Amino acid sequence: MTGQTFIVVVDDDEAHLAFAAEVLGREGYAVRTFADAISALDHCTREAPALVISDVMMPEIGGFELQGRYSRQFPERSTPFVFLSSLSDAHTITRGLDAGADDYLQKPVDPAVLMAKVRAILRRRRRATQSSFRGDLGAFPLSSLFRFCETQGLTGYVDFFVGDTLHSLQFRAGQIVGDGAEETLSRLSEVAAAPFVVHSAVVDFAALGCGTAPPPRTAAELPLGRLSTVRLRSKVFQVQTEVVGDGPRFVVSIVLVDARTVWKHSERVPEDVEPSQVAAAIDRLHDYIEQKLNDRMAEELLRRAAAAVGRRDEFHELFDTGFDRFRARDFTGAIEHWERALAIDPSNAALPVNIRIAREKAVAAATGG
């Protein structure tokens, strides 16, 4: 179950444990259920959960005491807690929130509400410790973004801001996962321009069992990187810039063509500079690389990239043309191009989903649905 998000649920009610395991499991989470706090704490010494959901009233050790013991036993963790209780009085709710709870839900809990709370809490936690890039679909097409996430083996989330609506896609090792992904893909495939943010999960080195790791940095200490594209003739160059290292630190820009790094440039970041100065250094280097691409490096990079192109050019052209046809509501044309692209690269995970969505829309259009 490597790569899954682990959630611990503690409740002396077996029916509620089964309910939570079923609801959270359907969403793709790995659920560990315990009937008492001592067993849950013992398990947490071997596996750090992403979230703890606990009943308030339990024999021997209640939910509030469980959180206190957990915090003392694992001070290096920032695990969020959600308390559940059949009690609805203001004193109990206030006590739970004052104890450090991230949320408080009254039993019986609606499954949709439970999942919405869990997603929101985990999203906030991820954004506090993740590396991020920002961009816009107008300059970085959806097909190129998916290809980038797949080739980079992204584990994390991509948030799309379409008008007043936030759409999120979850990735694990470069593959789209999670319920509702097809519906989200269907909506995004018709969007020509929208800001997006890629959140790449930070690797947890605790499983190594030895050595030390620097404490997680907050979002304020991790300025957003930059992600953009530069189109030159028939080629699309992907430019990404971020901060690497903890001491010394460097701002590093890399340029990719067809998922291959063709240029890399780095600059040392002075010690003890403000996050705003680091962000300015990211913008400065990123703009410099983009200008270099447009001015002097384009022809050389094109020559080097063309030497190893092969059928990938044809694949990308078919992939992108399929999206163009889909946006034009030519679903038959989209299917034709995507099926030809899939024949070139049968391992591509996004294409079967795209083809299925296009077929459904083609049937709906033919029947007037």
Task: Give tens-digit pLDDT for 273-329.
Answer: 787 788 888 888 888 888 887 776 656 655 665 554 556 778 888 988 998 899 899
Instruction: Report the pLDDT averaged over residues 41-54.
Output: 90
Beta strands in the chain (DSSP E): 6-10, 30-34, 51-55, 81-85, 103-106, 131-136, 156-162, 165-172, 175-177, 195-200, 225-232, 235-244, 249-257, 260-269
pLDDT at 114: 87
What pLDDT band is residue 37 in, cutting at 50, 70 and 90? Answer: very high
- Greater pLDDT, 132 or 27: 27
List the Cα angle 268/204/156 in 5-degree steps: 85
Residue 74: name the closest of 49, 56, 54 by CA: 49
Instruction: Report the pLDDT averaged over residues 128-148.
Output: 77
Pair 332, 326: CB distance under 8 Å: no
In the numeric block, the tokens 């992907």 are attached to: 238
The residues facing 135 across adjacent strands are 196
For the chain, the 3-state helix, strand and coil shares in percent, each to the nearest 5, are 45, 25, 30
Percentage of the chain lying above the pLDDT 70 cut = 78
What pLDDT band is residue 348 in, cutting at 50, 70 and 90? Answer: confident
What pLDDT band is residue 219 in, cutting at 50, 70 and 90? Answer: very low
Residue 323: name the closest of 347, 303, 351, 344 by CA: 351
Average pLDDT over the chain reads 79
The region, left, alpha or beta by phi > 0 then psi within -120 to 50, assigned to residue 184 is alpha
At residue 354, does pLDDT exceed 50? Answer: yes
End-to-end CA distance of the chain: 40
Topology of the domain covering 312-367: 1.25.40
At residue 220, does pLDDT exceed 50? Answer: no
pLDDT at 32: 93
At residue 205, does pLDDT exceed 60? Answer: no
pLDDT at 31: 92
Q: What is the pTM of this model?
A: 0.38
Residue 244: name the closest of 197, 282, 206 by CA: 282
What pLDDT band is residue 223 in, cutting at 50, 70 and 90? Answer: low
- Helices assigned H by DSSP within 85-207: 90-98, 111-129, 142-151, 181-188
Pair 40, 34: CB distance under 8 Å: yes
- Greater pLDDT, 61 or 308: 61
pLDDT at 2: 38
pLDDT at 64: 85
Positions of CATH 3.40.50.2300 in the chain: 6-127
Of 1-5, 300-304, 361-365, the least confident:
1-5
pLDDT at 222: 53
pLDDT at 226: 81
Listing from the earlier edge strand, what are the strands of the sheet with 51-55?
30-34, 6-10, 51-55, 81-85, 103-106
What pLDDT band is residue 34 in, cutting at 50, 70 and 90? Answer: very high
Instruction: Report the pLDDT averaged over residues 340-349.
Output: 84
| CATH of span 6-127 | 3.40.50.2300
